[in-house]
Structure 1
Amino acid sequence: MVPHLVTALTGPINELEQRILESTPVIERWFRLEWMEHTPPFYSSVDVRNAGFKLAPVDTNLYPGGWNHLTPEMMPLAVQAAMAAIEKICPEAKNLLLIPENSTDTFYLSNLLQLQRIFYQAGLNVRLGSLSKDVTSSTTIDLPGGESVILEPLVRSKRRLGLKHFDPCTILLNNDLSAGVPGMLEDLHEQYLLPPLHAGWATRRKSNHFKAYEEVSKRFGKLLGMDHWLINPMFNQCGEVDFSQDSGLECLRSNTDALLGKVRRKYKEYGINEKPFVVIKADNGTDGMGVMTVRDVKELDALTPMVRERMAQAKAGKVVSEVIIQEGVLTNERINRAVAEPVVYMMDRYVVGGFYRVHAERGVDENLSGPGSSFVPLAFEQSSQMPQPGMKPGASVPNRFYMYGVIGRLAMLAASYELEATDPDAEQYD
């Protein structure tokens, strides 16, 4: 059964949901035409926030973990999507090399096991090749449920990457490259590397993604005849910030103040009686690190040493020098009184499932990704994508999840735009 949700079902979101449901044929045709022109990321996940008056993505992950949180009912969708994705890239593929994060966390390893299952059922031999220098031979790690995963050392030849006695057509990264691009992943001229290297956090920037998303949301808003702000988190960006040395903070103050002002005007326009806030986070990935909520620009003048230290470092010990200042979107959803947000999972251009990220110790205006968070599957009896025409907004669970799926796919389309715009090979032809 679906976890009980407490969600605001009145106001603009109700209208937005109704408009989306009534426009399903128009929306699906629009996506179909977009995918004729653009290539979706191989897989992705999108964190969505439902404020009751606004529904928007706040983060898009191109190396999603957490596949183990999807329910068994979602497996057929994931397998079909994996088949479609592989057929487009390498139809004759029989071997897939999956390169994970250097993590021995059992939840993360369970995610790898689930990915192995999906691609095995899609018709591929799947093995795990580790970038870790500690993995020098085949290493079996047991998981709590009695299952296990096997990590193997990578073997690099002049033009190919694989394992001992295992030569893959396709290499799938489940490692976001926060620590940089390893040399052995470069110059692979005869193999497909997914996602491409410029999708990793060594080069990717959230501000590029949300710039692309703003463009997508404007076009979608025009298609449906609505204000795109209802699905778009506004943002600013600062490129040279040093929290440890207090440098670049004037850029942070002025951009934070300007964005808070824009949000206040929107709240006034819609009669929203909430206090606006922004979320400041590292522009090149966070993994829940280097994130803070600001409701008044004066708060930036009173940062404690502990907050400065936390904001100065991102994943893999990287120093934060670029930040995105994003309009904060409240979450009005609860599971057992704990604050929750939906996370939508996609492979190729298809929504394949998702779950709720829940955090009992965080507020409605705080980041829910981090220690203490838990995951509740979006378990349902019918497909997450199939809306039920004629039902009232919010009355049907598939209707609500269809709306989340539309927002997730808009973010995925924005990621497609983003990767095209930042492709280093494409620049040669501009």
Structure 2
Amino acid sequence: MVPHLVTALTGPINELEQRILDGMPAIERWFRLEWMEHTPPFYTAVDVRNAGFKLAPVDANFFPGGWNYLTTEMLPLAVQAAQAAIEKICPEARNLLVIPENRGRNTSYMANVAQLVRIFQMAGLNVRVGSIDPAVKSPKKVDLPDGSTVCLEPVVRTKRRLGLKNFDPCTILLNTDLAAGTPGILEDLHEQYLLPPLHAGWSVRRKSNHLHSYEEVSKRFGKLLGIDPWLIQSIYARAEGVDLARGKGVEGLTAAVDQVLTKVRRKYKEYGINEKPFVIVKSENGASSLPISTIRDVKELEALTKKPRQKAMAGATTDDAGPTDVIVQEGVLTRERVHDGMAEPVVYMMDRYVVGGFYRVHPDRGADESLALPGASFVPLAFSQSGHLPQPGAKPGASAPNRFYMYGVIGRLAMVAASYELEATNPEAEVYE
């Protein structure tokens, strides 16, 4: 099925597409050299927004949970990437243990786990699914809508290894983002490979580290192509110690919002863009309960802070757990629509390879709002012809493979930034004075 995609096919995005297509040999060499120096995350999903005048990633996930939205046609790429990734990490690997989120009753999520099992089985591994949920005390089969099942088994921890009864894996794949903290059962596994590493989990990861790394990557890539890095990145600022329920840190948040909006207005004026700039306010820490908010004017901050403060004054329980550090990120419009809903592409990668993706579609959200909310649906990226390779001679905007190649380039740039981020935050890395 090919999604009915309505997107901006004229204007600056086509110039960017042409630059990327013309620079393809240099781009692929650039990525090749990056991966000689840096290790990509084991798997990554990147949310991309196409504003019609810029194309930028807005989020990167190191524990992607939507593998079931990849089409059957995409699976061979995923299997090849899985083989390459495993061979590099543990060439003699035989047994793989997948640790999922504690969401056994969510059949959509468990279908994602089933797809991961399928991919790694086809890559030549014995794959089992181990639950770290204390409530899972014996093997439990989860029935899925397509008629398949996933068997959740309780993990068994020995002094230095983690496995299942009569199953000793050399590699453990985490498909849980560790937002609630790092369970002790996953620590000190010195004789097994744990992928991704624990410091990739949201209990310790900070979004500003990724944005800082991506800023560095986009500047270098922009220089390679001779483009303004702003066309492939979003401006951001950070505000510390924000507690909306108690009105603390609001001055710093206001200053950060004003700073980003001012810079974006300047860019819009430079490029003759007749749109209203906006920012997305979200927590530094992916584990925080702070809601994602769209702010178009500093005055709107008053409404954002008013509700939690009123709850606190009334003695009602708020979702706020105290002061948190906040990211104010330039909002990137989406000009893509699928089935009459606002859409954004999500690029799925394993090791260094783009293996597929899908559109996140939300019928009730605007072009300047987050689509990663309840009510979203997922439509696989698809092609109107069998050739999935980019076509450099095609007119910009006229070829789906060209557009999807461009999405893949942006996704891989975010993946390079992710490798920088994980290296910089690795607690076990050697520090040289």
1:382 CA displacement: 3.6
C-alpha contact (below 8 Å) 2:203/2:286 kept by paired residues = no
What is the letter of the counterpart of residue 64 of structure 2?
A: P
1:396 CA displacement: 1.0
Match of 2:332 among 329, 332, 351: 329
1:303 CA displacement: 2.6
Q: Which residue of 2 aligns with 1:256?
A: 257
Residues 1:382 and 1:350: Cα distance change in structure 2 (over 3 Å): farther
What is the letter of the counterpart of residue 327 of structure 1?
A: E
C-alpha contact (below 8 Å) 2:208/2:238 kept by paired residues = yes
Match of 2:426 among 401, 423, 427: 423
Q: Which residue of 1 aligns with 2:10?
A: 10
C-alpha separation in 1, matches of 2:387 and 2:45:
18
C-alpha contact (below 8 Å) 1:341/1:357 kept by paired residues = yes
Residues 1:319 and 1:171: Cα distance change in structure 2 (over 3 Å): farther
Q: Which residue of 1 aligns with 2:143?
A: 142
**Could you state the TM-score of these two structures normalised by the residue count of structure 2?**
0.95
C-alpha separation in 2, matches of 1:76 and 1:383:
15
C-alpha contact (below 8 Å) 1:130/1:153 kept by paired residues = yes
**Identity value in percent:** 70
Q: Which residue of 2 aligns with 1:81?
A: 81
Residues 194-237 of structure 1: CA distance to partner in whole angstroms, max 9, x if unpaired? 00010001111111001000000000000000100000111001
Q: Which residue of 2 aligns with 1:241?
A: 242
What is the letter of the counterpart of residue 95 of structure 1?
A: N
- Further displaced range: 335-344 or 238-247: 238-247
SS of the residue corresponding to residue 240 of structure 1 reads strand
Q: Which residue of 1 aligns with 2:397?
A: 394
Q: Which residue of 2 aligns with 1:92?
A: 92
1:22-421 matches, within 5 Å, as 22-103=22-103, 104-285=105-286, 290-303=291-304, 306=307, 313=319, 321-380=324-383, 381-382=385-386, 384=388, 386-421=389-424
Q: List alignment gaps of at least 5 residues for structure 2.
A: 313-317
Q: Which residue of 1 aligns with 2:315?
A: none
1:320 CA displacement: 6.4
Residues 1:382 and 1:213: Cα distance change in structure 2 (over 3 Å): farther
Residues 346-377 of structure 1: CA distance to partner in whole angstroms, max 9, x if unpaired? 00000000000000000000000111000001
Residues 1:345 and 1:287: Cα distance change in structure 2 (over 3 Å): farther
- Further displaced range: 292-301 or 76-85: 292-301
Residues 1:29 and 1:122: Cα distance change in structure 2 (over 3 Å): same
Count of matched residue pairs = 425
Residues 1:82 and 1:297: Cα distance change in structure 2 (over 3 Å): same
Residues 1:383 and 1:115: Cα distance change in structure 2 (over 3 Å): farther
C-alpha separation in 2, matches of 1:24 and 1:3:
26
C-alpha contact (below 8 Å) 2:155/2:162 kept by paired residues = yes
What is the letter of the counterpart of residue 114 of structure 2?
A: L
What is the letter of the counterpart of residue 137 of structure 1?
A: S
1:304 CA displacement: 6.2
C-alpha separation in 2, matches of 1:126 and 1:383:
32
Residues 323-354 of structure 1: CA distance to partner in whole angstroms, max 9, x if unpaired? 11100000000012210000000000000000
**Could you state the TM-score of these two structures normalised by the residue count of structure 1?**
0.96
SS of the residue corresponding to residue 167 of structure 1 reads coil
- Further displaced range: 66-75 or 298-307: 298-307
SS of the residue corresponding to residue 115 of structure 1 reads helix
1:281 CA displacement: 0.6
C-alpha separation in 2, matches of 1:14 and 1:196:
38
SS of the residue corresponding to residue 133 of structure 1 reads coil
C-alpha contact (below 8 Å) 1:277/1:293 kept by paired residues = yes
Residues 1:76 and 1:320: Cα distance change in structure 2 (over 3 Å): farther
What is the letter of the counterpart of residue 92 of structure 2?
A: E
C-alpha separation in 1, matches of 2:52 and 2:232:
11
Residues 1:238 and 1:216: Cα distance change in structure 2 (over 3 Å): same
Q: List alignment gaps of at least 5 residues for structure 1.
A: none
C-alpha separation in 2, matches of 1:284 and 1:81:
30
Residues 95-130 of structure 1: CA distance to partner in whole angstroms, max 9, x if unpaired? 001000111211000000000000000001111111
C-alpha separation in 1, matches of 2:358 and 2:322:
31
SS of the residue corresponding to residue 159 of structure 1 reads coil
C-alpha contact (below 8 Å) 1:313/1:320 kept by paired residues = no
1:319 CA displacement: 5.7
Residues 388-418 of structure 1: CA distance to partner in whole angstroms, max 9, x if unpaired? 1210111111000000000000000000000
C-alpha separation in 2, matches of 1:111 and 1:383:
27
Segments of 4+ moved more than 4 angstroms: 286-289, 304-310
C-alpha contact (below 8 Å) 2:69/2:378 kept by paired residues = yes
1:278 CA displacement: 0.1
C-alpha separation in 1, matches of 2:74 and 2:307:
42
C-alpha separation in 2, matches of 1:370 and 1:45:
16
C-alpha separation in 1, matches of 2:291 and 2:204:
18
C-alpha separation in 2, matches of 1:357 and 1:73:
19
